[in-house]
């Protein structure tokens, strides 16, 4: 029986042979304001390696973009960060101090901009083509975001959302099964155990995952 090839290392930038359009994000990102889990990837035929500048916008800190493990991000996904915000409590939203010159003496007016905190994408999330994620939202574990959606509010675990603004279409599983899946947290299993159970993870049942977890004492 031929020897099986090893599992792709999470440090490989281009995991798919001959497909430079696909990058694993963990070995790509350098910003201390972006955290990405293992095997999460971005697909873009133009310049996937420019993810930090082309796909994460207005990211001046201190809030972070946190992306979990095993997430799939389609071409054109954009994360709008809190640096895009303007004051809305006065007659004008124009950011005069950013223009420099004499107006820079009013820089204190930029200190109280709306800030919703970190933007968090859970584990095993699929974000479709051209999705825009607004500042400070949480996209739950196992969620799916439909192509072209604008995510303005939190997405529940294992929810499917779509539209602008994105609304809940349905849940992928029953409430009981969602609780079981969150307890199993297969994305935190040792990679060897994930490798042994890829078929159950992709096409099995929650019962199958529980059996796999018990087999390894997880």
Active site residues: 86
* DSSP H helical ranges for the chain: 51-54, 175-184, 191-196, 198-203, 206-215
What one-character DSSP code corresponds to residue 196?
Answer: H
The answer to whether the CB of 145 falls within 8 A of the CB of 166 is yes
The answer to whether the CB of 160 falls within 8 A of the CB of 167 is no
- CA 211, 215, 217, 218 torsion-angle sign: negative
Radius of gyration of the chain measured on its C-alpha atoms? 20
């Amino acid at each position: 029986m031929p020897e099986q090839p090893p599992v792709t290392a999470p440090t490989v930038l281009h995991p798919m042979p001959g497909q430079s359009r696909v990058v694993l994000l963990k070995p790509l990102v350098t910003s201390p304001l972006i955290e990405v889990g293992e095997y999460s990837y971005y697909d873009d035929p133009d310049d996937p390696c420019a993810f930090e500048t082309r796909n994460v916008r207005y990211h001046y800190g201190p809030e972070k973009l946190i992306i979990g493990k095993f997430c799939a991000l389609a071409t054109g996904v954009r994360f709008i960060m809190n640096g895009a915000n303007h004051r809305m409590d006065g007659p004008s939203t124009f950011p005069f101090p950013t223009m420099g010159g004499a107006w820079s003496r009013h820089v204190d007016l930029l200190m109280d901009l709306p800030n919703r905190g970190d933007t968090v994408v859970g584990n095993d999330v699929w974000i479709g083509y051209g999705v825009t994620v607004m500042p400070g939202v949480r996209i739950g574990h196992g969620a799916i975001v439909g192509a072209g959606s604008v995510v303005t509010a939190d997405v529940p675990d294992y929810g499917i959302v779509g539209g602008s603004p994105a609304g809940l279409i349905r849940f992928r599983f029953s409430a009981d099964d969602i609780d079981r899946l969150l307890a199993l947290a297969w994305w935190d299993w040792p990679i060897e155990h994930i490798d042994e159970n890829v078929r159950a993870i992709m096409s099995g049942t929650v019962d199958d995952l529980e059996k796999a977890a018990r087999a390894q004492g997880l």
